[in-house]
Structure 1
């Protein structure tokens, strides 16, 4: 089976009615992070809260100031908003397609670390690159989850659609595939998010279960230019047409 590694988003959808479920990996591995996050959020220390959330105004922080352990929960793949998730447009997919995303997408959350698309999470806020208290998130999750991810992905094919920043959370130790998008011969950066979301949508719509199937998939506006192999990474380069 194919597993897709994906980035989170700064934007979130509020609310949620999901029941609490066991998150990916060892259940106590992220407790320290969640407790430290909650302590800051509940502290009343406006400067610490604004720094954690990445806001300049306390009024912008208010929607996120709640006990994360009793917050409303929503599946991760539905919680996130932003460019990639706008192009994924999960609300327009049918039940089987949404289930595909919940089972086969691994999202690298800035708070929760690696989680499955179907894992139920709170509406949180952590600025990308921030630490939580004295805890550096990338190192924390790399140390605690790399072995578990190696085991989980051992018999799977991997399509890595993460933004480069999230390579710090987990280094893939087996053959995998990434995508690069070119417009007029130049690599796109911000809009790469949109095309990653578009590709993830097509994977779900077509119930893609292997890289062999993916390689035959025709995606509107994308045309394969070349395929590069460097060590254990295969990079498919697309022209945006």
Structure 2
């Protein structure tokens, strides 16, 4: 099974792994295509105006801009799954999991970075800031990565089952070419949005703890606070609808 997962706007600073290089990320042979985006990002962060950086980062405090001006060649990295710091990652609580569960996430989950594109959860990345949906100079990251990385992802996934836990925006980076499973969460009959992030983190955590390898095993899991209400099939997408109890 392959699990697709969203990144987070928040990031942990620092790191103790070597700087970014072609072997840091999934698909080393496509690293030149990542560099096309990275080089534009570094050029803009180092030379852009405050107005341009606000559009890039989505933060108004100009003092924060200095944190993201350093070239990646001089910056340490850390695992992507540890770098991201948001609601889903809080509920995933990766650091509290055992080694087997962590290894499952490192190798099974593919994250969709707004800057680096599709990466394994265990890949190492530097600290960065890029507002979701922002263009970088002439690059629209989601279009770039969809064009150049979709075939590689299809080949990697092959005939494995896909659990897509991403927010809807990240369909713009990659749409699976084979059947896949998504989740929806209802509270008192209404779809939850913000707290869906928390439940996606919880589902990933439970999947890792149980080392699931199929949809059948996913459905067999007993997840506290969630009951399966129905399963909908729309073309190649199968949607599991959970009720929050």
Q: Into which bin does the TM-score normalised by the smaller protein fall?
A: over 0.9
Residue pair 2:24, 2:125 contacting (<8 A) in 1 also: no
The SS at the match of 1:66 is coil
For the aligned residue pairs, the C-alpha RMSD in angstroms reads: 1.1
Q: TM-score, normalised by structure 1?
A: 0.96
The aligned runs of 1:8-27 (5 Å cut-off) are 8-19=7-18, 20=20, 21-25=23-27, 26-27=30-31
2:214 equivalent in structure 1: 210
Q: TM-score, normalised by structure 2?
A: 0.95
Q: Which runs of 5+ in 1 are unaligned?
A: none
Q: Which runs of 5+ in 2 are unaligned?
A: none
Following superposition, the deviation at residue 65 of structure 1 comes to: 2.1
Give the whole-Å Cα distance in 1 for the aligned partners of 2:64 and 2:43: 19
C-alpha distance after superposition, 1:27-77 (max 9, x if no partner)? 212111001111111115322222211112211222222112221101111
C-alpha distance after superposition, 1:66-106 (max 9, x if no partner)? 11222110111111011000000111111221111110000
Aligned pair 1:178/2:182, yes or no? Answer: yes
Residue pair 2:8, 2:85 contacting (<8 A) in 1 also: yes
Which 4+ runs in 1 deviate beyond 6 A? none
The aligned runs of 1:113-152 (5 Å cut-off) are 113-152=117-156
The aligned runs of 1:62-141 (5 Å cut-off) are 62-141=66-145
C-alpha distance after superposition, 1:175-214 (max 9, x if no partner)? 1100000000000001000000000000111111222211
Q: Which moved more, 1:104-113 or 1:14-23?
A: 14-23
2:162 equivalent in structure 1: 158
Residue pair 1:33, 1:132 contacting (<8 A) in 2 also: yes
Give the whole-Å Cα distance in 2 for the aligned partners of 1:147 and 1:14: 33
Give the whole-Å Cα distance in 1 for the aligned partners of 2:153 and 2:70: 30
Give the whole-Å Cα distance in 2 for the aligned partners of 1:225 and 1:212: 16
The SS at the match of 2:33 is coil
The aligned runs of 1:196-235 (5 Å cut-off) are 196-235=200-239
Residue pair 1:68, 1:124 contacting (<8 A) in 2 also: no
Residue pair 1:180, 1:238 contacting (<8 A) in 2 also: yes
Following superposition, the deviation at residue 22 of structure 1 comes to: 3.4
